[in-house]
Amino acid sequence: MGGVMRILVRTYRRLFSVVVLTAMGSLLLAPDAKAQVGDYRNDFVIGFNGGYQLNKIAFENSIPQDMLGGINFGVTARYTCEKYFNTICAIQIELNYAELGWKERIESIDGLPCILQTGAHTGEAAAYQRRISYFQIPLLAHLGWGREEKGAKFFLNMGPQFGFMLSEEATTNFEYEDALKTDPERVSPECAQYAMPVEKKFDFGITAGLGMELSMKKVGHIALEARYYYGLGNIYGDSKQDHFSRSNHNSIVFKGTYLFDIVRTKNAKRKK
C-alpha cells in the first residue's frame, strides 16, 4: 500500500508543479523508498472535520445573489510519504456531507427590495433560496512547511473534488407564476430556474485551501483551513438547446480538522 500511495503523491506533485515548482524539483517515479529524493515517511492519520460553507451558483444569465451558508462535515484520512527538502508531501482524502445552493437577492435596478403584489405574502419582500445537499469526495495533494510534531506548520491543499447530490429544497414566499409581480420591478427578469429541479446529480471541480496545523504529542493534530471550490460541472444542462449554458458551484469553506496518528515512521529525522 505504501508504494501505491507514494506513486499517487508523486503524480499529484507533478500535476501541481506550476504552483510549487521551487519546492518540488525533479521527481522519480519508482515506488521503492530507497529510490526517493528526500526523506522517507510512512505516516498515516485519520480523523474528522467540520465547518461552514458559503456558496452561490454562477448562472450564465446573471441572477443577483448573496452567498448561501450551510454546514460541511465528514471524515479525513492522510498519508505522508516523503519530506522533500523543507516540503512535507502527502495525499489527503475526505468524505464529506456539504450543503450548497444559492440565495437570490431580488431587488430593483436601484437596489431596493421588490415587494410582492399578489399571493399569500403580499406586502413582503420577495425571497428565494435553493439548498442542495451533496456527498463530496476531495482528493488532495497536501504540502506542508514547518514542524511535523510538537509545533505548527502551514499547508496547502489542492486537487480535484467530486460530488453526488443527495437532495434539494427550495424556500420561497411566492408562487412561481407570480415571480414578476412585484413593485418595484425586478432588475433581473430571469425566473426559469424556479421550476427547474437539478438535472445533473454528479458534480466535479477543483478545490484549493490554505491553513495551519498544530501537532501535539499524545493529543494529535488540529488544523484550521480556508478553502475555495470552483465547479467545472453544471447543475443544469448546458447544450445550445438548454436554458442555462452555465450553472456551476462556487464555494468558500472554513473548516477545522482533528487527526490522530495510526502509523508513524520509525527513526525519522523530524524537525521538532
Residue 212: predicted pLDDT: 98
Instruction: At 222, list the grid cell.
Output: 488540529
For 78, residues 6+ apart whose C-beta sits below 8 A from its C-beta are 44, 45, 46, 90, 91, 92, 93, 142, 259
Residue numbers of the chain with a pLDDT score lower than 70: 1-37, 267-272
- Which of 162, 264, 149, 266 minimizes the C-alpha distance to 213? 149
Residue-wise pLDDT tens digits, 109-154 = 999 999 999 999 999 999 999 999 999 999 999 999 999 888 999 9
Residue-wise pLDDT tens digits, 153-170 = 999 999 999 999 999 999
Residues 156 and 151: their CA atoms lie apart, in Å, by 17
Would you call 11 helix, strand, or coil by DSSP?
A: helix
Residue 206: strand pairing partners:
160, 230
The gap from C-alpha 51 to its chain's centroid, in whole angstroms, comes to 11
Residue 268: predicted pLDDT: 62
- The answer to whether residues 27 and 17 touch, using CB atoms and an 8 Å cutoff, is no
Residues 80 and 43: their CA atoms lie apart, in Å, by 5
pTM of the model: 0.83
Residues 58 and 40: their CA atoms lie apart, in Å, by 43
